[in-house]
């Protein structure tokens, strides 16, 4: 949700800045864009085929992040990509350290939609496609976990990690960057 908001806001600001200058908005020229659906595929598999994969499902989120990292690395010279890279590395670190899942405390999860009181939450169970309930004292790299609650907006509340904030900031920067001069028109004699 945070990433989607950053993408939409970044596009709107980037487009608005370009229009204000009288230039057309130019989306960033991303290389190897085919890596994005490849990176998303393990997450889709984790959501829909968890029961079939058993213990291997914990490898899917780190695999997905590794492919996203490859995509960001290939495009690292674009504005915002170094920040996005830091966020992905932080999330990969905490997820890998906690068995392939993003940890969230029962207390934090209790504030989310359909959350249960902390004393009723079953520690070690999955909360959603990427998160697992762990007590803070049982969480490795707990300061990088989904522990920060966003304000409720339109009846929806989410928990984010430090890495999520970096990812959203990098995506925003990539799309909202100040537009440069438009490409010069090619001469017809060239």
DSSP string, 115-138: ---TTTS-TT-BSSSSEEE--GGG
Residue 27 lies in a domain: no
What's the confidence (pLDDT) of residue 183? 56
Contact 109, 159 (CB under 8 A): yes
Residue 154 has a pLDDT of 66
DSSP letter (8 states) at residue 177: S
How many CA atoms does the CB half-sphere of 165 hold within 13 Å? 11
Q: Considering the domain boundaries, does residue 184 fall inside one?
A: no
Whose structure tokens read 């058993």? 54
Show the tokens assigned to 159.
């928990």
- 182 within domain boundaries: no
Is residue 186 one of the residues assigned to a domain? no
**Does residue 183 fall inside a structural domain?**
no
Q: Containing domain of residue 87, as a range?
A: 2-22+32-176
160 occurs within a structural domain = yes
End-to-end, the C-alpha distance of the chain in Å comes to 47
**For residue 160, what are its two tokens?**
């984010």
The answer to whether position 187 is within a domain reads no
User: Using an 8 Å Cβ cutoff, are 79 and 174 in contact?
Assistant: yes
Task: Give the per-residue pLDDT at 103.
Answer: 96
> Which pTM was predicted?
0.86
Per-residue pLDDT of the chain (190 residues; tens, 9 = 90+): 788 889 999 999 999 988 898 888 888 999 999 999 999 998 888 777 766 666 677 888 999 999 999 999 999 999 999 999 999 999 999 999 999 999 999 999 888 877 766 667 688 887 777 888 999 999 999 999 999 998 887 677 889 999 999 999 999 999 998 656 555 554 444 4
**DSSP calls for 23-69:** --------S-TTHHHHHHHHHHHHHHSHHHHGGGGGGHHHHHHHHHH
- Considering the domain boundaries, does residue 189 fall inside one? no
- What distance in Å separates the CA atoms of residue 70 and residue 30, rounded to the nearest whole number? 12
Helices 60-74 + 35-48 axis angle, to 10: 170
Q: Long-range contacts of range 179-188, CB-CB < 8 Å, 24 or more positions apart? A: 179/14, 179/17, 179/18, 179/21, 179/23, 179/25, 179/26, 181/23, 182/23, 182/24, 182/26, 183/26
The total number of structural domains in the chain stands at 1
């Amino acid at each position: 949700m945070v990433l989607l908001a950053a993408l939409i806001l970044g596009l709107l600001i980037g487009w608005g800045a370009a229009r204000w200058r009288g230039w057309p908005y130019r989306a960033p020229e991303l290389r190897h864009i085919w890596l994005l659906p490849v990176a998303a595929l393990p997450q889709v598999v984790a959501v829909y085929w968890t029961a079939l994969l058993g213990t291997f499902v914990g490898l899917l989120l780190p695999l997905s992040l590794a492919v996203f990292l490859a995509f960001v690395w290939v495009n690292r010279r674009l504005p915002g990509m170094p920040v996005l890279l830091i966020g992905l590395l932080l999330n990969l670190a905490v997820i890998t350290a906690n068995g392939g899942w993003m940890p969230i405390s029962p207390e934090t999860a209790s504030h989310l939609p359909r959350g249960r009181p902390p004393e009723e939450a079953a520690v070690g169970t999955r909360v959603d496609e990427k998160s697992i309930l762990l007590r803070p004292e049982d969480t490795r790299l707990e300061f990088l976990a989904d522990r920060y609650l966003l304000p409720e907006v339109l009846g929806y509340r989410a928990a984010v990690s430090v890495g999520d904030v970096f990812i959203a900031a990098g995506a925003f920067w990539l799309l909202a960057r100040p537009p440069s001069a438009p490409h010069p028109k090619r001469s017809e004699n060239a």
